[in-house]
Amino acid sequence: MTAPGRVHIVGAGLAGLAAAVALVGRGRPATLYEAGRHAGGRCRSFADAELGCRIDNGNHLLLAGNRAALSYLERTGALGTLEGPLEARIPFFDLASGESWALRPNRGGLPWWILVPARRVPGTRARDYLEALKLRRAAADATIAERLDAGTVLFRRLWQPLAVAALNTGVDDASARLFWRVLVETLGRGGEACRPLAPREGLSESFVDPALAWLTGRGAAIRFGARLRAFDFSGERVSNLVFDEGAVALAAGDSVILASPASVAARLVPGLTVPQDHAPIVNAHFRCAPPGRAPLLLGIIGGTAEWVFRKREILSVTVSAADRIADRPAEELKNLLWREIARACRLPAAPIPPARIVKERRATFRATPDQLKRRPPTATRWANLVLAGDYVDTGLPATIEGAIRSGFAAAQAVGRNRSLARASVEEGAGKPATGILPATIGDRGRAL
C-alpha cells in the first residue's frame, strides 16, 4: 500500500492548526509553516509589559454550541481550560435607561422562553421574536436593517448587538442571510448552545499551546519564520513551495492547505477572488480586579462599549464594526470606555485603571452581501491545493468557529477532486458535518 503523501499547511492560525490536528489525528504526515514567530494568528495571548500581565490580542466569544471549536479543544486536551455558566444567562445593561436584565433562553430547542417575561428582553412581547423569521427567506442582497424593524425595542436591545458582534458589520450593511445562519446555530438550537464559554487563562493557553504540543508529540513538523513567497505550478498541481530561504519540492502524493489571510492567499493563488473590504475591532483591556460575582460576559446597550469580558486580572471591552472610533486617540478611548464599564459594572469612575487599547484595523471581512459573494470555496482549480481560513465560504461569519470549521473542511478535502471538496464546504455551511469533524469527537460540549 502506498503511504499517504505529506500535507503542507501554510499558516498556523486557528484554521491551519485545526487542519493539522484533523490530519495528524488520521495519521497523515503534516508540516506546518508559519511566517511569524507565534502561532494563533489573531487568536493568541501575549505579555503586556505596561499592564504587567498577560492579555489576549482580542476578545473572542465561544459558545457551547460551537461544536467544531469544542471538538478541536477536546482533541488537543484543552477542553478543560474553558469556564462558563451552567445555563445560558446573558446579562445586559442599558446605559440610556439604567435597566439591567438577563436573556435566559431555555435549554431545549423549543423556545418556550419567549413566553416568559422574566426570560426575554424587557419591553418585548413573545410575538416580537417571530419577526426574525423574515431573515429566513431574505434575498441574497438583503441587509438586516431591510428585513427587521430597526425601530423596535427588540432590535435595539438584542438583534442589533448580536448581529454587530457576530458579523463585525453594521446592521445597515450586514447580510440578513448570514445573520439568519448565526441565529439558527445559536438561539435556534436552544439555550444549551448559547452558554458563553471563555479560556480560564488566555487564548494561547486554550487554543494554541495545547495544539502545538499535541502536534509535535505526534511527529508533526512546525517551522516558524517560514514566509511563503510563491507557488510553482506544474499543470494542475502545485509543484514547489517557494520560501524566503528556498524552495520545498512536493512529491507526487503531497497536498497543500493554504491557511493564510485572504490578502496573502489572493497574492499567491492566480485568479483567486477573496473579500477585500475589512472592518476594524477595538478592544480595551483594563487591569483591575473584577467585581465579585461579575458575569463572564456583559452586553452594554446604547453606548460605545458593546461587550465586557471578565478575566482573572482584566476587564476587557470589545467594540465591533468600530470605524467610528478606530482613529480616536488611545487616551480618549480609555476615558470613554471606562466611564461606560464603570457604570454598567458599578465600579468607581475614577481613577481609571491602567489600560491597553488594541486596534485591529482589518479584523475581519465586512459581512455585506457583496463581500459574501467574494468568499471562495475550499477547493481550487489545482488538484493538490485547497484553502482554509475564516474568509473561506463555510456559511459562517469570520469567527473562531468559522476558522476551525474551514480547517476541518480543508483537511477532509485534500487529495480529493474539486467537486468533492466543494461539496464538503456546502455540507459544512449548514452544520458541522460528521465527516468534517475529527474522528471520535462528538457533541461533548454539553458536559462543560
pLDDT at 293: 79
Mean pLDDT within 219-228? 97
Q: What are phi and psi for residue 379, nearest 5 degrees?
A: -75, 155
Is there a single domain that holds both residue 346 and residue 286? yes
Task: Say if residues 382 and 233 touch (Cβ distance below 8 Å).
Answer: yes
Q: Is residue 401 a part of any domain in this protein?
A: yes
Judged against a pLDDT cut of 90, whether residue 422 lies above it is answered with no
* pLDDT the model gives residue 60: 86
Looking at 339, 364, 389, the residue that finishes a domain is 364
Is residue 375 located within the same domain as residue 396? yes
| Residue 306 located in a structural domain | no
Find, among 100, 92, 179, the residue nearest to 134 by Cα. 179
**pLDDT per residue as tens digits for the range 276-314:** 999 999 999 999 988 877 899 999 999 999 999 998 899
Cell of 11: 499558516
Domains of the chain: total: 3
User: Cα–Cα distance between 441 and 75 in angstroms, integer?
Assistant: 7
Q: Which domain holds residue 346?
A: 278-293+311-364
Q: Is the pLDDT of residue 428 over 50?
A: no
Percent of the chain predicted with pLDDT > 70: 92
**CATH assignment at residue 442:** 3.50.50.60
166-219 pLDDT, tens per residue?
Answer: 999 999 999 999 999 999 999 999 999 999 999 999 999 999 999 999 999 999
In terms of domains, do 38 and 179 share one?
no
Residues 354 and 394 grouped into a single domain: no
Query: Are 425 and 409 spatial neighbours (Cβ–Cβ below 8 Å)?
Result: yes
Same domain, 116 and 265: no
pLDDT of residue 441: 32
> What order of strands is seen across the sheet that includes strand 297-301?
100-103, 90-94, 297-301, 307-310, 314-319, 278-287, 355-365
pTM of the model: 0.91
Q: Does one domain contain both 189 and 218?
A: no
Q: Are 227 and 263 found together in one domain?
A: yes
Instruction: Work out the pLDDT band at 2, boundaries 50, 70, 90.
Output: low
3-state SS class at 287: strand
- Angle CA 40–73–181, to nearest 5: 85
For residue 237, count other CB atoms closer than 10 A to its CB: 17
Above 80 in pLDDT, residue 418?
Answer: no
Mean pLDDT confidence for 34-54: 93
Q: What is the pLDDT of residue 133?
A: 97
The rounded mean pLDDT for the chain is: 91
pLDDT of amino acid 445:
31
- At 4 the pLDDT is 82
Q: Are residues 103 and 117 in the same domain?
A: yes
C-alpha–C-alpha distance, residues 403 and 143, integer Å:
23
Residues 265 and 237 in one domain: yes
Return the pLDDT at 434.
30
Q: Taking residues 432-445, what's their average pLDDT?
A: 34
71: which 3 cell numbers?
Answer: 471538538
> What gap in Å lies between CA 15 and CA 405, rounded to an integer?
8
Indicate if 104 and 148 belong to the same structural domain: yes
Final residue in a domain of this structure, among 194, 217, 237: 194
pLDDT tens digits along 115-153: 999 999 999 999 999 999 999 999 999 999 999 999 999
Q: What is the pLDDT of residue 426?
A: 44
CA distances to 143, 155, 252, 389, 448 from 256, in Å: 36, 44, 12, 14, 35
pLDDT at 437: 39
Last residue of a domain, one of 194, 220, 247: 194
pLDDT tens sequence across 249-277? 999 999 999 999 999 999 999 999 999 99
Q: Is-contact 65 88, C-beta < 8 A?
A: no
Q: Does some domain include residue 408?
A: yes
Question: What is the spatial distance between Cα 71 and Cα 106, in angstroms, rounded to a whole number?
Answer: 24
Could you tell me if 20 and 32 lie in one domain? Answer: yes
C-alpha closest to that of 17 among 1, 38, 45, 3: 38
Is residue 235 located within the same domain as residue 211?
yes
Which residues are paired to 239 by β-bridges?
Answer: none
Task: Indicate whether 77 belongs to any domain.
Answer: no
Is a pLDDT exceeding 90 seen at residue 423? Answer: no
